[in-house]
Structure formats: C-alpha cells, structure tokens
Structure 1
Amino acid sequence: MKTWSYLLAPFAAWLAAGCLKFVINSLRAGKPAFGLIGYGGMPSNHSAIVSSMAALTALREGLDSAAFGVALTLAFIVMLDAASLRRQVGRHAQALNELRPEEKARLRERMGHTPFEIAGGIAVGCAVAWLLR
C-alpha cells in the first residue's frame, strides 16, 4: 500500500479539488457550472496535486528527507506559476477578448489563482495526504 499511495495521492487530490471546485462554482452560479470547470477558481487543482505529494512524502519519509525536498521544490514552482505567470496569461486573454469582441473563439480568461485559491488547494492536498498516510 505504501507505493500505491504515492500514485493515488495526486489523482485523489485532483479529483477532490475538481469536485469541490464544481460544487463551489455551482453554488455561486445558482446552477450546475460545467462551463467553469478548468483552470482557475477555488481550490487550485495544481496546488492540491503537488501539495498531496509533498505532504505524503513528509508524513512518510520525514521533513529532512531528500524526497521531501524535491517534492517541496516542485510544489513551490507550480504554485508560483499558478499565482504569477498563469494569472498574467488570464489577464492578457481578458484584454485581448475586449479588443476583439466579435471573435467567436474567445481566449480562456480563467487561468491563474489568487493566494486564497492556492491555499485552498494546499488544504485539499494535505487532507488527502493525511487520509492516505
């Protein structure tokens, strides 16, 4: 079970964060929000995935293990990317969509995450890791 939990953790975190995101978006929209599934929103799927692996590694191998250092580094890079680069890409898409409102193929504007959405992903990932430890 030890090895399988390392394979299961990212998938379970992705599934949990995705389902939670669908429920939150549906409650906000007042109807099923299938169109809001994807990048962006609360909680961050990417943060949940990498946090589940980092947290599971910390719980299993310890905070001073090389494996945890690698997992933490990867998680940090992914979360920085979600909060900065991907968020800026979303802002650029919004500006481009405003410049060309007649275009049928609009660019996806929901790309990055706020710090709160990333924290939500971390919480989901850590919860999944705790359940699988």
Structure 2
Amino acid sequence: MFNNILVISASSWFVAQILKTLIHAVKNKKIACERMIGAGGMPSSHTAMVIAALVTTGRIDGVHSSVFGIAAVFSAVVIYDALNVRHAAGLHAKELNTINRLFNFRIREENSEKVGIKELNEFLGHTPIEVVGGAVVGLLVGFLFPIK
C-alpha cells in the first residue's frame, strides 16, 4: 500500500534537511552532518513537512474536506511552535551557554578546573524567513510530486 501524504511529506522533510545542510555548509564554510537531522536553521523542515502534507491532502481529498481542515490546524500549530516556543527556547539556550562560558572562565581562573553545565543546543526554533523557506519547499514538493 502506498500512502501519498506520508511519502510526499517525508520527501519534503528530506529535501529541506538537505537544503539546510548545504546552506549551513556554505554559510559556515564546513559541513556539519548533524544539520542533516537537526532542528532549527534554514529552511524549516517541520514547516516543509506539514505544508507538503496540507497540500497533498488538498490535492487528494479537496480543500473542503474534514481531513484538509485537520491538516490545516495541525500545520498552524507546528508553525506557531517553530516560530514562537522553540525559537524562544533556542534564544534561551544561547544566553545560558553564554552565562555558562563566563562562569567556567571565572572558575578556571580561580581554581584551575572546569565546572558548569553541558552546552545546550541553540538550533531549536526558526525565524520567520526560515519558516517561509520551509513553506516554499513544502509547497513545491507538495504540488510537484506525482500522486499515485
């Protein structure tokens, strides 16, 4: 059995993750393989995935179907979370990492030993442009991928 929505959504996520890895490599002049599975960055793979699911649902069941309505609500929640909740968590992680580095520096000067908390992941949420980038990927994959 072939599920168009799952295959097209997963394909959109994969395309976004490849783009994210390439963009990160060009921007930072080094390849970071963890970007292939990591959250955050340009484009938003979460947004790409839910938009592809939304578009494919509309193509298969129509935009007036209940399933399309559910997909639209789900997409809105995921995008809101990426823009607000996870983005704020990433900003908090960045500040906590800065505080931790300062704390470790002072402790090392006083005691010659390193203490503190583990470095937190700062790549969690998305800026509006990263979400728009993910939406574009989701729209393109959702509309261009053939329906079986």
Q: TM-score, normalised by structure 1?
A: 0.91
Moved more, 33-42 or 86-95: 33-42
SS at 2:119 equivalent: coil
Show the counterpart of 2:72: 72
* 1:118 maps to 2:131: yes
Q: Structure 2 counterpart of 1:46, which letter? A: H
Query: What is the 5 A alignment of 1:19-58?
Result: 19-37=18-36, 38-58=38-58
State percent identity of aligned pairs: 34
Show the counterpart of 1:129: 142
Larger Rg over CA atoms = 2
> What are structure 2's unaligned runs of at least 5 residues?
105-115
Moved over 6 A (4+): none
Deviation of residue 123 (structure 1)?
1.1
Deviation of residue 104 (structure 1)?
6.4
**How many matched pairs?**
132
Q: Judge conservation of contact 1:56–1:132 (CA < 8 Å) in 2.
A: no
CA RMSD of aligned residues (A): 1.6
Show the counterpart of 2:112: none
Deviation of residue 93 (structure 1)?
0.8
Q: Structure 2 counterpart of 1:8, which letter? A: V
Show the counterpart of 1:13: 12
> What are structure 1's unaligned runs of at least 5 residues?
none
Q: Judge conservation of contact 2:17–2:35 (CA < 8 Å) in 1.
A: no
What are the superposed Cα offsets for residues 77-112 of structure 1, whole Å, 9 maximum, x if unpaired?
A: 000000000011011111111111134620011111
Q: TM-score, normalised by structure 2?
A: 0.82
Moved more, 47-56 or 25-34: 25-34
Show the counterpart of 1:82: 82
Moved more, 97-106 or 65-74: 97-106
